[in-house]
Amino acid sequence: MPVLHNSDYQAPFLLQNRHMLTIYPSLFRSIRPAAYRRERITTPDGDFLDLDFSERGSSRLVVILHGLEGNASRKYVLGMVHIFNGAGFDTVSMNFRGCSGEPNKNLRFYHSGETEDLHAVIGYLVSLKKYTAIHLVGFSLGGNVTLKYLGERGATVDGTIRSAVAISVPCDLKSGSAELEKRHNIIYMQRFIRDLGEKLRLKALQFPGSINLDHYAEVRSFRQFDDRYTAPMHGFKDALTYWEQCSSRPLLPDIRIPVLVINAKDDPFLGKECYPYEIAAGSKYVFLETPHQGGHVGFVRFGEDFYWSEKRALAFIQQM
């Protein structure tokens, strides 16, 4: 039932190409910074997470999770902060380990299926006894983490968590990784590999002898990167094992709060397995909306303060 077939997003006339929709926001969108108040919390393994709050004195909170190599200052995060603040919600933008401007303490950092840090954040927020309703919004990798967390928790999820929105989600990591290896995505892949390499170099300085960066320039794909670094650093046998165990798609049937998944059909990062139509059709909780256009975290609107995805997320959460 919750497959939403009649999405009303239409790309601007000048941005009909999926790559233009993907790239335009990061290069050309003008958006003011958020008035963040930062808190640092300690994780159970002795590391830390930096949380950026933007508060309106509300009892309703939206937790925002960024994408791969993002952070709380990314434009797509700020757009969500501003639209929800304007509607009277508090927000907190979670920076994954090593993404807040300072390397984290431990050898491992973050990955597409790491949900214990989100659980620690939720536990901290609930302990404040300040919020009667908490909602989650995740982008790309952060969307997969959001959905995986809710699927893992199922009916045991904290009752304060009421709904979630996940945008441009590679819910099948193998499919998404294969799509990004295609020639038309070479610019994105090169950038990801470059940025992740910088993070690894910092780790190598922190932990001499623990990370082998010899021939790193030969790494060309997520499969190579995950086989060589992500999997061994986080306790997985290899890239395939990591992708299988960390994809949110198999856990979607276990979600027990309303969630909206927005994946554009022209998203250059997503393979066909990232569109879980059959799961959504058989679920009371997973709503799937697949606009024909939107690119990856695109959904640009000209002449308006907010993008379509931001208005859609707000409308869904308000409805819930």
Query: Annotated active-site positions, please?
Result: 140, 267, 296
Name the strand (E) or helix (H) holding 163: strand 161-167
The Cβ of residue 245 has, within 10 Å, a number of other Cβ atoms equal to 14
Kind of pairing between the strands at 90-95 and 60-65: parallel
Q: Which residues pair with 95 in a beta bridge?
A: 50
Q: How far is CA 295 from CA 11, 131, 175, in A?
A: 9, 34, 16
Edge-to-edge, what's the strand order for the sheet holding 90-95? Answer: 3-4, 286-289, 259-262, 161-167, 133-139, 60-65, 90-95, 48-54, 37-42
The contacts of residue 166 (CB under 8 Å, 6+ apart) are 137, 138, 139, 143, 144, 146, 147, 259, 260, 261, 262
- The two most distant CA atoms of the chain are separated, in Å, by 54
Nearest one of 201, 189, 181, 193 to 217, comparing CA atoms: 193
Cα–Cα distance between 166 and 312 in angstroms, integer?
A: 11
Q: What is the DSSP track for 49-99?
A: EEEEEE--S-SEEEEEE--TT--TTSHHHHHHHHHHHHTT-EEEEEEPTT-
3-state SS assignment for residue 276: coil
The backbone torsions φ and ψ at residue 52, rounded to the nearest 5 degrees and listed phi first, read -110, 110
The two three-digit tokens of residue 11, written as one number: 């790309």
> Which residue, chain included where needed, has tokens 């959905």?
147
